[in-house]
Every structure is written in C-alpha cells, then in structure tokens.
Amino acid sequence: MAGILYSIGVGPGDPELLTRKAERLIRSCPVLAAPGGRDSTSFRIAVQAIPEIAEKPCLSLHLPMTRDQQVLKESHRVAAEQVAETLKSGQDVALLTLGDPSIYSTCIYIQNQIQAMGFSYQMVAGVPSFCAAAAALGESLTEADKPLRILPASYPCAEPELDAPGVKILMKSGKQFANVKRLLTEKGLSEHTSVVQNCGMPGEALYPTLSQTGDTAGYFSILIVKDP
C-alpha cells in the first residue's frame, strides 16, 4: 500500500504555535520533506518543538523563488517525483510548510501533482502568519461588517484592492518593500499601516506605523493596512 502525503502547516515561526495535530503527524511520519530540507525555516521550527525528528530522513526539495513559470513547473515536477518515490515504498511523508498550507504555500503545487499521480493526501491547517502578527501587535483584524483582504504585495493585482474598504493584509512584499511603502505613503495609508517582521522568530520587530520602518524588509514581513 502506498504512503500518504501530509501537507502540514507549522505556523509562522514560534514553535509553541505548532498544533497538536501537526505535532502528532510529524512524529508519526517516517519521512519528512521541506524546501531546502533540514536547512529550511519550516524544519527548524518543527525540530524546536519535536527535537527527535532531527534523526528522521528529510527530503530536500529544490523549489527556487522565481517567477519564471518554466523553472517553477520543472522544480515542482522534480520535487513531486522525489516525494512520490517515498510514497511508492509505502512510507508516509510529512511535507512541512510555513504558516498554513492553504495560504500562498509552495507545498500545494507538490500536493496537486501527488494527487494527479493517484496518491492519497491530507492538508493539516497551521496558524497563519497574519493572525500571529495581529496577536503580536494586540490588534483585531475584523469587526462587525468590515471585510478582510489578503493580498500578494509584490503583484500588481494588490494595488487596486488598497482602495477597498476593510483591513488589507499585504504578504510577500519581499524585495518590493520599498515600492510598497512608497505606494501606501502616496495613498495616505502610512500611519494606518502596521508592520511585523520575522513574527515569532529571532529578530522579531513590531512597527505600529509604516513610517517607523526602513525601506528594506526581510521576506517574512506582514503589513496590516487599516481604513483611514
């Protein structure tokens, strides 16, 4: 019988935010997998909560951060084949991913291919980074009839959404942080935007307003934009 793929969200950074279900499945799966293997942030989070997994085999999946669709497609195919070989041997695989696997997660591309190959899979929810960021700031994200929008900050589709009502979560700003900051400042939203960098990780930084930040930020940065 073939193994099962578990796409497991390990949360945003704090190992204490790993769910009990995630911990149970990570313990029980004989093989782990993660982008970058043991050097990945997701593995480092999990091993803090479950030290004994340091002895388990961990597939190192090469998943480059690029927008080149051909490169992405090929890397997803190769990674899925790596996972499939282990599943064929009858072993379950815990594929570790930051935050929650349903939110801008690379693991979904692997999962989709595994599903197409006919293998069984399950998704295991994790604490999303923006929920942890809001908690760190002590702020609410929604109230009454106010909507919540989750946007990929470095993509053009995010800009028109900034004028919509409700709270906007800007993720994946990365190298475009300076441009995102400029855009929000031009729209008069700088003082209504909070920023959390490296939430739950070493070097965590909280900024109640965007104007308090520099023009660069790490990959793990969340912006919370509220209505003026």
- For 140-151, the pLDDT digits (tens) are 999 888 999 999
User: Residue 28 carries which DSSP code?
Assistant: H
Regarding whether 107 and 159 lie in a shared domain, the answer is: no
**pLDDT at 218 > cutoff 80:** no
Regarding whether 165 and 67 lie in a shared domain, the answer is: no
Regarding whether 192 and 95 lie in a shared domain, the answer is: no
| Distance spanning both ends of the chain, measured CA to CA | 57
CA distance 20 to 67: 35
**Mean pLDDT computed over 90-114:** 96
Of the pLDDT bands very low, low, confident and very high (cuts 50, 70, 90), residue 212 is: very high
What lies within 8 Å, CB to CB, of 146 at 6+ separation is 165, 166, 167, 227
CA distance 124 to 8: 5
Regarding whether 117 and 52 lie in a shared domain, the answer is: yes
Look at residue 228 in the predicted model and tell me its pLDDT.
81
Could you tell me the pTM of the whole model?
Answer: 0.92
Residue span of the structural domain in which 169 resides: 129-225
For 14-66, the pLDDT digits (tens) are 999 999 999 999 999 999 999 999 999 999 999 999 999 999 999 999 998 88
Average pLDDT of the chain is: 94
- What SS3 state is found at 171? strand
Look at residue 61 in the predicted model and tell me its pLDDT.
97
Of the pLDDT bands very low, low, confident and very high (cuts 50, 70, 90), residue 215 is: confident
CA distance 121 to 143: 35
Regarding whether 146 and 119 lie in a shared domain, the answer is: no
Query: Which of 124, 155, 188 finishes a domain?
Result: 124
Regarding whether 16 and 113 lie in a shared domain, the answer is: yes
For 60-88, the pLDDT digits (tens) are 999 988 888 999 999 999 999 999 999 99
Q: What's the number of domains the chain is made of?
A: 2
**Mean pLDDT computed over 204-226:** 90
Of the pLDDT bands very low, low, confident and very high (cuts 50, 70, 90), residue 155 is: confident
CA distance 124 to 46: 14
User: Are the C-beta atoms of 43 and 58 separated by less than 8 Å?
Assistant: yes
Of the pLDDT bands very low, low, confident and very high (cuts 50, 70, 90), residue 174 is: confident
What lies within 8 Å, CB to CB, of 139 at 6+ separation is 194, 224
